[in-house]
Amino acid sequence: MGRAFDRAERRERTRSSWFQFTSKRKQLHRRRRLIVAGSRNCAAFFYGKIDSRFFRFGSGSSKIRARGPHIRNNNHIKEKKLKTKNKYLLVALTVVVTLVSAHGQDASDSALKAKSKARKKEEQAKSEAIARKMKEPFWKRLDEAMLEQLGTPAYTPPAPDATPAPTTRRIPPAPFDSPPFPNGDWQIGGSPIIGDPGELAPYPLMQALYEGPYGDAWKRSKVQIYGWVNFSGNISTSHNTSKGQNANFPLIYDLRPNRMELNQIVLYLERLPNEAQTDHIDWGFRISFLYGLDYRFTTTRGFISDQLLKHNSYYGFDMPMVYFDLYIPYVFQGMNIRIGRIISMPDIEAQLAPNNLMASHSLLYGFDPYCQEGIFTTTKINDQWTIQAGISNGNDVAVWQDDPGNQPTGTVMIQWTSPNQMDSVYIGDNAFNNAEFGYNNLQQIVGTWTHKFNDKIYTATEAWYMYMNDAKSAPTSEVPFQSGSFPVRNGYAPEWAVVNYTMFRVARNAFLTVRNEYMNDKVGSRTGHATQYSEHAIGLTYWPDKIITIRPELRFDHAYDTNAYDNGTKRSQFAFITDVIYHF
Protein backbone atom coordinates (compact mmCIF):
# COMPACT_ATOMS: atom_id res chain seq x y z
CA MET A 1 0.00 0.00 0.00
CA GLY A 2 2.82 2.31 0.94
CA ARG A 3 4.76 1.46 -2.20
CA ALA A 4 1.69 2.10 -4.38
CA PHE A 5 1.28 5.45 -2.72
CA ASP A 6 4.91 6.32 -3.28
CA ARG A 7 4.69 5.41 -6.99
CA ALA A 8 1.54 7.57 -7.39
CA GLU A 9 3.29 10.48 -5.67
CA ARG A 10 6.32 10.20 -7.94
CA ARG A 11 4.11 10.09 -11.03
CA GLU A 12 2.30 13.21 -9.78
CA ARG A 13 5.56 15.05 -9.21
CA THR A 14 6.84 14.02 -12.64
CA ARG A 15 3.58 15.13 -14.31
CA SER A 16 3.74 18.48 -12.40
CA SER A 17 7.40 18.98 -13.40
CA TRP A 18 6.57 18.22 -17.07
CA PHE A 19 3.68 20.69 -17.00
CA GLN A 20 5.98 23.33 -15.43
CA PHE A 21 8.73 22.62 -17.98
CA THR A 22 6.25 22.76 -20.86
CA SER A 23 4.72 25.96 -19.56
CA LYS A 24 8.13 27.61 -19.21
CA ARG A 25 9.10 26.44 -22.71
CA LYS A 26 5.94 27.90 -24.19
CA GLN A 27 6.58 31.16 -22.35
CA LEU A 28 10.11 31.32 -23.78
CA HIS A 29 8.78 30.65 -27.31
CA ARG A 30 6.18 33.40 -26.90
CA ARG A 31 8.80 35.85 -25.63
CA ARG A 32 11.06 35.02 -28.55
CA ARG A 33 8.23 35.61 -31.01
CA LEU A 34 7.39 38.90 -29.30
CA ILE A 35 11.04 40.04 -29.51
CA VAL A 36 11.30 39.14 -33.22
CA ALA A 37 7.95 40.75 -33.99
CA GLY A 38 8.86 43.81 -31.97
CA SER A 39 12.18 44.15 -33.81
CA ARG A 40 10.46 43.92 -37.20
CA ASN A 41 7.80 46.38 -36.11
CA CYS A 42 10.52 48.76 -34.88
CA ALA A 43 12.24 48.55 -38.27
CA ALA A 44 8.95 49.08 -40.05
CA PHE A 45 8.13 51.98 -37.77
CA PHE A 46 11.55 53.49 -38.45
CA TYR A 47 10.78 53.51 -42.20
CA GLY A 48 7.22 54.74 -41.56
CA LYS A 49 5.52 51.48 -42.63
CA ILE A 50 3.50 50.52 -39.51
CA ASP A 51 1.17 52.34 -37.22
CA SER A 52 2.50 53.11 -33.75
CA ARG A 53 -0.52 51.58 -32.05
CA PHE A 54 1.01 48.11 -32.39
CA PHE A 55 3.75 49.18 -30.04
CA ARG A 56 2.07 48.64 -26.68
CA PHE A 57 3.71 47.12 -23.68
CA GLY A 58 2.50 46.00 -20.30
CA SER A 59 -1.27 45.63 -20.40
CA GLY A 60 -1.32 45.92 -24.20
CA SER A 61 0.87 42.90 -24.71
CA SER A 62 -2.18 40.62 -25.13
CA LYS A 63 -3.15 42.53 -28.27
CA ILE A 64 0.29 41.93 -29.68
CA ARG A 65 0.03 38.30 -28.80
CA ALA A 66 -3.39 38.13 -30.45
CA ARG A 67 -2.21 39.79 -33.63
CA GLY A 68 1.34 38.44 -33.69
CA PRO A 69 1.02 36.06 -36.67
CA HIS A 70 -0.82 38.66 -38.72
CA ILE A 71 1.83 41.31 -38.00
CA ARG A 72 4.62 38.88 -38.77
CA ASN A 73 3.16 38.09 -42.19
CA ASN A 74 2.49 41.77 -42.88
CA ASN A 75 6.00 42.75 -41.89
CA HIS A 76 7.49 40.00 -44.01
CA ILE A 77 5.67 41.29 -47.11
CA LYS A 78 6.56 44.90 -46.37
CA GLU A 79 10.17 43.99 -45.66
CA LYS A 80 10.42 42.26 -49.03
CA LYS A 81 8.91 45.33 -50.73
CA LEU A 82 11.32 47.60 -48.82
CA LYS A 83 14.30 45.47 -49.83
CA THR A 84 13.19 45.55 -53.44
CA LYS A 85 12.70 49.29 -53.31
CA ASN A 86 16.08 49.78 -51.65
CA LYS A 87 17.71 47.66 -54.33
CA TYR A 88 16.24 49.86 -57.02
CA LEU A 89 17.26 52.97 -55.09
CA LEU A 90 20.80 51.64 -54.62
CA VAL A 91 21.07 50.85 -58.33
CA ALA A 92 19.80 54.32 -59.20
CA LEU A 93 22.23 55.99 -56.80
CA THR A 94 25.09 53.89 -58.16
CA VAL A 95 24.23 54.90 -61.71
CA VAL A 96 24.04 58.58 -60.73
CA VAL A 97 27.33 58.51 -58.80
CA THR A 98 29.01 56.65 -61.64
CA LEU A 99 27.76 59.20 -64.18
CA VAL A 100 28.82 62.13 -61.99
CA SER A 101 32.24 60.57 -61.37
CA ALA A 102 32.68 59.82 -65.04
CA HIS A 103 31.74 63.40 -65.89
CA GLY A 104 34.14 64.72 -63.23
CA GLN A 105 36.89 62.44 -64.48
CA ASP A 106 36.27 63.64 -68.02
CA ALA A 107 36.42 67.25 -66.84
CA SER A 108 39.60 66.55 -64.86
CA ASP A 109 41.14 64.74 -67.82
CA SER A 110 40.22 67.68 -70.03
CA ALA A 111 41.81 70.14 -67.60
CA LEU A 112 44.94 68.02 -67.33
CA LYS A 113 45.13 67.73 -71.09
CA ALA A 114 44.71 71.51 -71.41
CA LYS A 115 47.45 72.13 -68.84
CA SER A 116 49.71 69.60 -70.47
CA LYS A 117 49.10 71.18 -73.83
CA ALA A 118 49.80 74.66 -72.45
CA ARG A 119 52.96 73.39 -70.75
CA LYS A 120 54.13 71.79 -73.98
CA LYS A 121 53.47 75.03 -75.85
CA GLU A 122 55.40 76.98 -73.19
CA GLU A 123 58.31 74.55 -73.33
CA GLN A 124 58.26 74.68 -77.10
CA ALA A 125 58.25 78.48 -77.02
CA LYS A 126 61.18 78.45 -74.57
CA SER A 127 63.09 76.01 -76.75
CA GLU A 128 62.46 78.19 -79.79
CA ALA A 129 63.55 81.29 -77.85
CA ILE A 130 66.74 79.55 -76.71
CA ALA A 131 67.49 78.39 -80.24
CA ARG A 132 66.77 81.87 -81.58
CA LYS A 133 69.01 83.58 -79.01
CA MET A 134 71.90 81.24 -79.75
CA LYS A 135 71.85 82.52 -83.33
CA GLU A 136 71.57 86.19 -82.36
CA PRO A 137 74.65 88.46 -82.19
CA PHE A 138 76.12 88.95 -78.70
CA TRP A 139 75.22 92.64 -78.53
CA LYS A 140 71.58 91.92 -79.28
CA ARG A 141 71.45 89.28 -76.53
CA LEU A 142 73.08 91.76 -74.14
CA ASP A 143 70.54 94.44 -75.03
CA GLU A 144 67.64 92.03 -74.47
CA ALA A 145 69.10 90.85 -71.14
CA MET A 146 69.43 94.44 -69.93
CA LEU A 147 65.87 95.26 -70.91
CA GLU A 148 64.64 92.12 -69.19
CA GLN A 149 66.50 92.84 -65.94
CA LEU A 150 65.45 96.49 -66.00
CA GLY A 151 61.90 95.18 -65.64
CA THR A 152 62.75 92.67 -62.90
CA PRO A 153 62.23 93.62 -59.23
CA ALA A 154 65.40 93.68 -57.14
CA TYR A 155 63.70 91.72 -54.38
CA THR A 156 60.62 89.50 -54.54
CA PRO A 157 59.39 88.25 -51.15
CA PRO A 158 58.43 84.56 -50.93
CA ALA A 159 54.72 83.72 -50.88
CA PRO A 160 53.34 83.19 -47.33
CA ASP A 161 52.52 79.54 -48.01
CA ALA A 162 55.49 78.86 -50.27
CA THR A 163 57.78 75.94 -49.52
CA PRO A 164 61.34 77.18 -48.89
CA ALA A 165 63.55 76.62 -51.91
CA PRO A 166 66.07 73.79 -51.45
CA THR A 167 69.60 74.97 -50.72
CA THR A 168 73.00 73.40 -50.23
CA ARG A 169 74.03 76.10 -47.74
CA ARG A 170 75.18 74.33 -44.56
CA ILE A 171 75.20 77.33 -42.25
CA PRO A 172 72.20 79.29 -40.88
CA PRO A 173 70.25 81.36 -43.42
CA ALA A 174 71.62 84.80 -44.26
CA PRO A 175 70.36 87.30 -41.66
CA PHE A 176 69.67 90.10 -44.16
CA ASP A 177 67.93 90.37 -47.52
CA SER A 178 70.38 91.38 -50.23
CA PRO A 179 69.15 93.36 -52.08
CA PRO A 180 68.12 95.83 -50.84
CA PHE A 181 70.89 95.60 -48.21
CA PRO A 182 74.38 95.46 -49.75
CA ASN A 183 75.37 92.23 -47.97
CA GLY A 184 73.25 89.32 -46.78
CA ASP A 185 75.72 87.81 -44.29
CA TRP A 186 77.46 89.07 -41.19
CA GLN A 187 80.49 91.26 -41.79
CA ILE A 188 83.70 89.40 -42.59
CA GLY A 189 86.45 90.24 -45.07
CA GLY A 190 89.28 88.43 -46.78
CA SER A 191 87.29 85.29 -47.63
CA PRO A 192 84.14 83.93 -49.23
CA ILE A 193 81.44 82.88 -46.77
CA ILE A 194 82.48 79.40 -45.60
CA GLY A 195 79.39 77.18 -45.67
CA ASP A 196 77.78 79.00 -48.61
CA PRO A 197 77.77 77.48 -52.14
CA GLY A 198 78.92 80.73 -53.73
CA GLU A 199 76.15 80.99 -56.30
CA LEU A 200 75.76 84.41 -57.87
CA ALA A 201 72.70 85.32 -59.93
CA PRO A 202 73.81 86.44 -63.41
CA TYR A 203 73.77 90.11 -64.34
CA PRO A 204 73.02 91.07 -67.99
CA LEU A 205 76.52 90.40 -69.32
CA MET A 206 76.61 86.85 -67.98
CA GLN A 207 73.01 86.24 -69.01
CA ALA A 208 73.94 87.16 -72.59
CA LEU A 209 76.91 84.76 -72.44
CA TYR A 210 74.82 81.96 -70.92
CA GLU A 211 72.26 82.30 -73.71
CA GLY A 212 74.93 82.16 -76.41
CA PRO A 213 76.44 79.16 -78.21
CA TYR A 214 78.97 78.53 -75.41
CA GLY A 215 76.55 79.06 -72.53
CA ASP A 216 76.84 75.55 -71.11
CA ALA A 217 80.63 75.81 -71.06
CA TRP A 218 80.42 79.11 -69.16
CA LYS A 219 78.06 77.55 -66.60
CA ARG A 220 80.29 74.52 -66.09
CA SER A 221 83.35 76.70 -65.61
CA LYS A 222 81.63 78.82 -62.90
CA VAL A 223 83.63 81.79 -64.21
CA GLN A 224 81.69 85.05 -64.24
CA ILE A 225 82.30 88.46 -65.77
CA TYR A 226 80.29 91.36 -64.43
CA GLY A 227 80.63 94.91 -63.13
CA TRP A 228 78.98 98.28 -62.73
CA VAL A 229 79.19 101.98 -63.45
CA ASN A 230 78.94 104.37 -60.49
CA PHE A 231 78.60 108.13 -60.85
CA SER A 232 77.61 110.80 -58.35
CA GLY A 233 76.89 114.48 -57.83
CA ASN A 234 77.02 116.81 -54.85
CA ILE A 235 75.80 120.21 -53.78
CA SER A 236 77.96 121.61 -50.98
CA THR A 237 78.26 124.73 -48.82
CA SER A 238 82.00 124.60 -49.54
CA HIS A 239 82.94 126.35 -52.77
CA ASN A 240 86.33 128.02 -52.19
CA THR A 241 88.50 126.35 -54.82
CA SER A 242 91.08 129.14 -55.04
CA LYS A 243 93.60 127.06 -53.06
CA GLY A 244 92.74 123.78 -54.74
CA GLN A 245 89.87 121.76 -56.10
CA ASN A 246 89.35 119.59 -53.00
CA ALA A 247 87.22 122.03 -51.01
CA ASN A 248 84.95 119.24 -49.68
CA PHE A 249 87.93 117.45 -48.04
CA PRO A 250 88.07 115.73 -45.49
CA LEU A 251 84.77 114.47 -46.93
CA ILE A 252 85.60 111.68 -49.35
CA TYR A 253 85.27 110.31 -52.03
CA ASP A 254 83.56 113.35 -53.58
CA LEU A 255 86.43 115.74 -52.91
CA ARG A 256 85.39 118.44 -55.37
CA PRO A 257 82.27 120.43 -54.49
CA ASN A 258 79.21 121.15 -56.60
CA ARG A 259 79.88 118.88 -59.55
CA MET A 260 79.24 115.46 -61.07
CA GLU A 261 81.88 112.72 -60.84
CA LEU A 262 82.53 109.37 -62.49
CA ASN A 263 83.41 107.49 -59.32
CA GLN A 264 84.15 104.05 -60.71
CA ILE A 265 83.72 101.75 -63.65
CA VAL A 266 84.50 98.27 -62.36
CA LEU A 267 84.87 94.94 -64.10
CA TYR A 268 85.23 91.63 -62.26
CA LEU A 269 86.54 88.38 -63.66
CA GLU A 270 86.01 85.78 -60.96
CA ARG A 271 85.21 82.25 -59.95
CA LEU A 272 83.62 81.56 -56.56
CA PRO A 273 84.55 78.27 -54.86
CA ASN A 274 81.74 76.09 -53.53
CA GLU A 275 82.40 76.28 -49.79
CA ALA A 276 79.14 74.59 -48.77
CA GLN A 277 80.35 71.11 -49.75
CA THR A 278 82.78 69.20 -47.55
CA ASP A 279 83.97 66.36 -49.80
CA HIS A 280 86.57 67.98 -52.08
CA ILE A 281 88.99 70.88 -52.39
CA ASP A 282 87.76 73.76 -54.52
CA TRP A 283 89.28 76.96 -55.85
CA GLY A 284 88.41 80.43 -57.03
CA PHE A 285 89.92 83.75 -58.02
CA ARG A 286 89.12 87.41 -58.66
CA ILE A 287 90.73 89.95 -60.94
CA SER A 288 89.26 93.43 -60.65
CA PHE A 289 89.69 96.47 -62.90
CA LEU A 290 88.72 99.95 -61.68
CA TYR A 291 88.70 103.27 -63.47
CA GLY A 292 87.47 106.58 -62.11
CA LEU A 293 87.88 109.09 -59.30
CA ASP A 294 87.94 106.37 -56.63
CA TYR A 295 91.31 104.98 -57.78
CA ARG A 296 92.79 107.74 -55.59
CA PHE A 297 91.70 105.78 -52.50
CA THR A 298 92.92 102.32 -53.53
CA THR A 299 96.36 103.26 -54.87
CA THR A 300 99.31 101.18 -53.67
CA ARG A 301 102.69 102.91 -53.74
CA GLY A 302 104.84 101.24 -56.37
CA PHE A 303 101.99 99.78 -58.44
CA ILE A 304 100.95 102.19 -61.24
CA SER A 305 100.94 104.89 -58.54
CA ASP A 306 102.61 107.73 -60.43
CA GLN A 307 99.27 108.81 -61.87
CA LEU A 308 98.33 109.91 -58.34
CA LEU A 309 101.56 110.48 -56.41
CA LYS A 310 103.38 112.37 -59.17
CA HIS A 311 100.69 113.69 -61.50
CA ASN A 312 97.74 114.05 -59.11
CA SER A 313 95.34 112.84 -61.79
CA TYR A 314 91.71 112.89 -60.71
CA TYR A 315 90.77 109.92 -62.87
CA GLY A 316 92.94 106.84 -63.04
CA PHE A 317 93.16 103.06 -63.19
CA ASP A 318 93.81 100.46 -60.49
CA MET A 319 93.40 96.75 -59.76
CA PRO A 320 92.41 96.72 -56.07
CA MET A 321 91.85 92.95 -55.92
CA VAL A 322 93.95 90.29 -57.63
CA TYR A 323 93.90 87.05 -55.66
CA PHE A 324 93.51 83.27 -55.70
CA ASP A 325 91.28 81.31 -53.27
CA LEU A 326 91.89 77.72 -52.16
CA TYR A 327 89.14 76.05 -50.12
CA ILE A 328 90.09 73.06 -47.93
CA PRO A 329 87.01 71.46 -46.30
CA TYR A 330 88.95 69.08 -44.04
CA VAL A 331 90.18 71.68 -41.52
CA PHE A 332 87.53 72.11 -38.81
CA GLN A 333 84.40 73.21 -40.74
CA GLY A 334 86.42 74.56 -43.64
CA MET A 335 89.46 76.75 -44.35
CA ASN A 336 89.94 79.32 -47.10
CA ILE A 337 93.44 80.42 -48.10
CA ARG A 338 93.61 83.68 -50.07
CA ILE A 339 96.84 84.66 -51.82
CA GLY A 340 97.33 88.01 -53.55
CA ARG A 341 96.24 91.63 -53.30
CA ILE A 342 93.13 92.11 -51.20
CA ILE A 343 91.06 94.87 -49.64
CA SER A 344 91.89 94.83 -45.92
CA MET A 345 89.61 92.60 -43.85
CA PRO A 346 87.74 94.87 -41.41
CA ASP A 347 85.28 97.78 -41.94
CA ILE A 348 81.56 98.08 -42.44
CA GLU A 349 82.25 99.85 -45.73
CA ALA A 350 84.25 98.96 -48.83
CA GLN A 351 85.87 100.69 -51.79
CA LEU A 352 83.47 99.02 -54.21
CA ALA A 353 80.26 101.02 -54.54
CA PRO A 354 77.63 98.22 -54.31
CA ASN A 355 79.09 97.04 -50.97
CA ASN A 356 78.31 100.32 -49.20
CA LEU A 357 75.27 101.41 -47.23
CA MET A 358 75.44 105.04 -48.43
CA ALA A 359 76.78 107.12 -51.31
CA SER A 360 79.51 108.84 -49.27
CA HIS A 361 82.01 107.29 -46.86
CA SER A 362 82.58 107.87 -43.18
CA LEU A 363 85.73 109.64 -41.98
CA LEU A 364 86.60 106.45 -40.10
CA TYR A 365 86.67 104.48 -43.33
CA GLY A 366 88.25 107.18 -45.45
CA PHE A 367 91.56 107.21 -43.57
CA ASP A 368 92.34 103.62 -42.55
CA PRO A 369 94.38 101.02 -44.54
CA TYR A 370 92.98 100.02 -47.91
CA CYS A 371 94.89 97.20 -49.61
CA GLN A 372 97.31 94.49 -48.49
CA GLU A 373 99.35 91.90 -50.40
CA GLY A 374 100.05 88.54 -48.81
CA ILE A 375 98.60 85.22 -47.65
CA PHE A 376 95.45 85.21 -45.52
CA THR A 377 93.65 82.24 -43.96
CA THR A 378 90.08 82.02 -42.73
CA THR A 379 89.09 78.98 -40.64
CA LYS A 380 85.53 78.25 -39.57
CA ILE A 381 85.72 76.53 -36.17
CA ASN A 382 81.94 76.08 -35.74
CA ASP A 383 78.70 77.96 -36.36
CA GLN A 384 79.72 80.67 -33.87
CA TRP A 385 83.49 81.14 -34.26
CA THR A 386 85.71 81.97 -37.24
CA ILE A 387 89.43 82.80 -36.94
CA GLN A 388 91.52 84.67 -39.52
CA ALA A 389 95.28 84.99 -39.66
CA GLY A 390 97.53 86.39 -42.35
CA ILE A 391 100.88 87.86 -43.22
CA SER A 392 101.46 90.66 -45.70
CA ASN A 393 104.17 93.14 -46.64
CA GLY A 394 102.32 96.07 -45.05
CA ASN A 395 99.55 98.49 -45.99
CA ASP A 396 99.21 100.02 -49.47
CA VAL A 397 102.76 99.35 -50.62
CA ALA A 398 103.94 97.01 -53.38
CA VAL A 399 106.23 94.12 -52.45
CA TRP A 400 109.01 95.53 -54.65
CA GLN A 401 108.69 99.13 -53.38
CA ASP A 402 111.45 100.60 -51.22
CA ASP A 403 109.49 101.95 -48.23
CA PRO A 404 109.92 101.63 -44.43
CA GLY A 405 106.42 100.19 -44.25
CA ASN A 406 107.32 97.35 -46.64
CA GLN A 407 108.02 94.72 -43.98
CA PRO A 408 106.38 91.55 -42.62
CA THR A 409 103.04 92.57 -41.16
CA GLY A 410 100.61 90.37 -39.25
CA THR A 411 96.82 90.24 -39.31
CA VAL A 412 94.58 88.45 -36.79
CA MET A 413 90.79 88.77 -36.78
CA ILE A 414 88.07 86.84 -34.93
CA GLN A 415 84.37 86.67 -35.81
CA TRP A 416 81.69 85.51 -33.38
CA THR A 417 78.00 85.17 -34.22
CA SER A 418 75.31 84.46 -31.64
CA PRO A 419 73.38 81.16 -31.78
CA ASN A 420 70.11 83.06 -32.36
CA GLN A 421 71.65 84.89 -35.35
CA MET A 422 70.91 88.33 -33.90
CA ASP A 423 74.45 89.53 -33.05
CA SER A 424 77.93 89.43 -34.51
CA VAL A 425 81.28 90.68 -33.23
CA TYR A 426 84.25 91.07 -35.58
CA ILE A 427 87.41 92.21 -33.83
CA GLY A 428 91.19 92.00 -34.12
CA ASP A 429 94.49 93.55 -35.07
CA ASN A 430 94.38 94.32 -38.77
CA ALA A 431 98.04 95.34 -39.12
CA PHE A 432 100.94 95.05 -36.70
CA ASN A 433 104.71 95.38 -37.16
CA ASN A 434 107.35 97.75 -35.75
CA ALA A 435 105.14 100.80 -36.61
CA GLU A 436 108.01 102.63 -38.34
CA PHE A 437 106.90 105.76 -40.16
CA GLY A 438 106.19 104.94 -43.81
CA TYR A 439 103.81 105.62 -46.70
CA ASN A 440 100.85 104.10 -44.82
CA ASN A 441 102.43 101.87 -42.16
CA LEU A 442 99.48 102.15 -39.79
CA GLN A 443 99.03 99.85 -36.80
CA GLN A 444 95.29 99.25 -36.51
CA ILE A 445 93.26 97.66 -33.74
CA VAL A 446 89.65 97.47 -34.90
CA GLY A 447 86.30 95.93 -34.01
CA THR A 448 82.67 95.92 -35.16
CA TRP A 449 79.51 94.90 -33.32
CA THR A 450 76.39 94.30 -35.41
CA HIS A 451 72.95 93.74 -33.89
CA LYS A 452 69.77 92.74 -35.71
CA PHE A 453 66.59 93.97 -34.03
CA ASN A 454 64.27 92.33 -36.57
CA ASP A 455 64.01 91.80 -40.33
CA LYS A 456 63.61 95.55 -40.89
CA ILE A 457 66.05 97.18 -38.46
CA TYR A 458 69.68 96.51 -37.64
CA THR A 459 72.66 98.51 -36.43
CA ALA A 460 76.44 98.26 -36.81
CA THR A 461 79.06 100.06 -34.70
CA GLU A 462 82.78 100.12 -35.58
CA ALA A 463 85.76 101.61 -33.75
CA TRP A 464 89.49 101.67 -34.36
CA TYR A 465 92.72 102.98 -32.86
CA MET A 466 95.69 103.59 -35.20
CA TYR A 467 99.20 104.97 -34.87
CA MET A 468 102.71 105.24 -36.35
CA ASN A 469 105.95 105.86 -34.48
CA ASP A 470 108.43 108.68 -35.10
CA ALA A 471 106.26 110.38 -37.72
CA LYS A 472 107.67 113.31 -39.69
CA SER A 473 105.78 116.49 -40.44
CA ALA A 474 107.33 116.91 -43.90
CA PRO A 475 108.41 114.63 -46.76
CA THR A 476 111.71 112.77 -46.40
CA SER A 477 113.88 110.89 -48.88
CA GLU A 478 112.50 107.59 -47.58
CA VAL A 479 108.90 108.77 -47.26
CA PRO A 480 108.24 111.38 -49.94
CA PHE A 481 104.47 110.67 -49.97
CA GLN A 482 101.77 109.95 -47.44
CA SER A 483 98.56 108.00 -48.00
CA GLY A 484 96.89 110.35 -45.53
CA SER A 485 98.70 113.56 -44.62
CA PHE A 486 101.91 114.54 -42.94
CA PRO A 487 101.24 115.34 -39.25
CA VAL A 488 101.48 118.84 -37.87
CA ARG A 489 104.36 117.79 -35.59
CA ASN A 490 106.98 115.05 -35.38
CA GLY A 491 106.75 112.02 -33.14
CA TYR A 492 104.08 109.54 -32.12
CA ALA A 493 101.05 109.93 -34.41
CA PRO A 494 97.81 108.41 -33.05
CA GLU A 495 94.15 108.73 -34.05
CA TRP A 496 90.92 106.99 -33.08
CA ALA A 497 87.37 106.94 -34.38
CA VAL A 498 83.95 105.37 -33.89
CA VAL A 499 80.98 105.20 -36.28
CA ASN A 500 77.45 103.86 -36.02
CA TYR A 501 75.17 102.86 -38.87
CA THR A 502 71.48 102.12 -38.21
CA MET A 503 69.32 100.82 -41.04
CA PHE A 504 65.51 100.91 -41.34
CA ARG A 505 63.88 98.96 -44.13
CA VAL A 506 61.03 101.11 -45.43
CA ALA A 507 59.99 98.98 -48.43
CA ARG A 508 60.84 95.66 -50.01
CA ASN A 509 63.34 97.44 -52.28
CA ALA A 510 64.49 100.37 -50.11
CA PHE A 511 66.00 101.19 -46.73
CA LEU A 512 66.91 104.31 -44.78
CA THR A 513 70.35 104.75 -43.16
CA VAL A 514 71.34 107.01 -40.29
CA ARG A 515 75.10 107.45 -39.71
CA ASN A 516 76.80 109.20 -36.79
CA GLU A 517 80.53 109.27 -36.12
CA TYR A 518 83.37 110.85 -34.20
CA MET A 519 87.06 110.99 -35.10
CA ASN A 520 90.01 112.49 -33.25
CA ASP A 521 92.96 113.12 -35.55
CA LYS A 522 95.29 114.07 -32.68
CA VAL A 523 98.28 115.29 -34.69
CA GLY A 524 96.65 115.62 -38.11
CA SER A 525 98.41 112.59 -39.63
CA ARG A 526 95.21 111.55 -41.41
CA THR A 527 93.56 114.82 -42.49
CA GLY A 528 96.34 117.39 -42.09
CA HIS A 529 94.38 119.10 -39.30
CA ALA A 530 94.90 118.29 -35.64
CA THR A 531 91.27 118.37 -34.61
CA GLN A 532 88.24 116.41 -33.53
CA TYR A 533 85.48 115.73 -36.05
CA SER A 534 81.87 114.69 -35.98
CA GLU A 535 79.78 113.70 -38.97
CA HIS A 536 76.04 112.98 -39.24
CA ALA A 537 74.21 111.77 -42.31
CA ILE A 538 70.87 110.33 -43.37
CA GLY A 539 70.39 108.57 -46.67
CA LEU A 540 68.07 106.38 -48.70
CA THR A 541 69.05 103.35 -50.77
CA TYR A 542 66.46 102.53 -53.43
CA TRP A 543 66.43 99.74 -56.03
CA PRO A 544 63.91 100.59 -58.77
CA ASP A 545 64.81 97.28 -60.43
CA LYS A 546 67.41 94.53 -60.35
CA ILE A 547 70.34 96.44 -61.88
CA ILE A 548 69.94 100.07 -60.75
CA THR A 549 70.61 101.52 -57.28
CA ILE A 550 69.96 105.16 -56.32
CA ARG A 551 71.34 106.59 -53.04
CA PRO A 552 70.55 110.21 -52.10
CA GLU A 553 71.82 111.51 -48.75
CA LEU A 554 72.14 114.67 -46.66
CA ARG A 555 75.34 115.09 -44.63
CA PHE A 556 76.73 117.51 -42.02
CA ASP A 557 80.42 117.62 -41.02
CA HIS A 558 82.03 119.66 -38.23
CA ALA A 559 85.63 120.22 -37.07
CA TYR A 560 85.86 121.32 -33.44
CA ASP A 561 89.39 122.72 -33.03
CA THR A 562 90.33 124.33 -36.34
CA ASN A 563 89.00 125.29 -39.76
CA ALA A 564 89.27 122.08 -41.75
CA TYR A 565 86.63 122.45 -44.50
CA ASP A 566 86.40 124.59 -47.61
CA ASN A 567 90.19 124.60 -47.98
CA GLY A 568 90.76 125.54 -44.33
CA THR A 569 88.28 128.41 -44.15
CA LYS A 570 85.28 126.77 -42.38
CA ARG A 571 84.61 124.47 -39.48
CA SER A 572 81.30 123.10 -40.79
CA GLN A 573 79.95 121.81 -44.07
CA PHE A 574 76.55 120.73 -45.39
CA ALA A 575 76.36 118.56 -48.48
CA PHE A 576 73.65 116.87 -50.48
CA ILE A 577 75.09 113.86 -52.32
CA THR A 578 73.49 111.29 -54.54
CA ASP A 579 74.91 108.48 -56.63
CA VAL A 580 73.62 105.91 -59.09
CA ILE A 581 74.95 102.40 -59.68
CA TYR A 582 74.18 100.60 -62.93
CA HIS A 583 75.08 96.88 -62.90
CA PHE A 584 75.98 94.98 -66.04
Query: How do beta strands 322-328 and 282-292 pair?
Result: antiparallel
The H or E element spanning position 459 is: strand 457-471
The more confidently predicted of residues 99 and 224 is: 224
In the chain, pLDDT over 70 holds for what percent of residues? Answer: 81
Confidence of residue 45 (pLDDT cuts 50, 70, 90): very low
> What are the φ and ψ backbone dihedral angles of 192, each rounded to 5 degrees?
-65, 170
Q: What is the pLDDT of residues 528-583, one digit of tens each?
A: 999 999 999 999 999 999 999 999 999 999 999 999 999 999 999 999 999 999 99
**Domain extents for the chain?**
204-583
- Provide the pLDDT for residue 112: 72
Distance CA 420, CA 55 (A): 75
Residue 58's pLDDT band (cuts 50, 70, 90): very low
Report pLDDT for 133: 82
CA distances to 285, 321, 327 from 274, in Å: 12, 20, 8
Q: What is the mean pLDDT of residues 339-367?
A: 96
- pLDDT single digits (tens) 437-483: 999 999 999 999 999 999 999 999 999 999 999 999 999 999 999 99
State mean pLDDT over 379-396. Answer: 97
Does 12 have pLDDT greater than 60? Answer: no
How many angstroms from the chain centroid is the CA of residue 45?
Answer: 71
Q: Judge contact between 499 and 468, C-beta under 8 A.
A: no
For residue 146, is pLDDT > 50?
yes
| CATH T-level topology, domain 204-583 | Porin (2.40.160)
Q: Looking at this protein, which amino acid is placed at residue 481?
A: F
Which of 104-108, 116-120, 227-231, 429-433 is least confident?
104-108
396 or 46, higher pLDDT: 396
What pLDDT does 382 receive?
96
- Four-point Cα dihedral 539, 541, 542, 546, nearest 10: 170
Ramachandran region of residue 178, left (φ > 0), alpha (ψ -120 to 50) or beta?
Answer: beta
Name the residue among 448, 450, 455, 485 with its Cα closest to residue 468.
Answer: 485
Dist. CA 200–CA 202, nearest whole Å: 6
Of the listed ranges 36-50, 68-82, 157-171, 538-552, the least confidently predicted one is: 36-50
Asked if residue 250 has a cis previous peptide bond (ω within 30° of 0), the answer is: yes
Closest C-alpha among 364, 368, 354 to residue 537: 364
Contact 388, 190 (CB under 8 A): yes
Distances (CA, A) of 207 to 212, 219, 221, 487, 583: 9, 10, 14, 50, 12
Nearest to 182 by CA among 514, 576, 551: 551
Better-predicted residue by pLDDT, 196 or 96: 196
Strand segments (E) across 181-334: 223-236, 260-271, 282-292, 316-318, 322-328
Mean of the per-residue pLDDT values for the chain? 87
Q: Please say whether the beta carbons of 494 and 522 come within 8 A.
A: yes
pLDDT at 64: 38
Instruction: Report residue 122's pLDDT band, with 50, 70 and 90 as the boundaries.
Output: confident
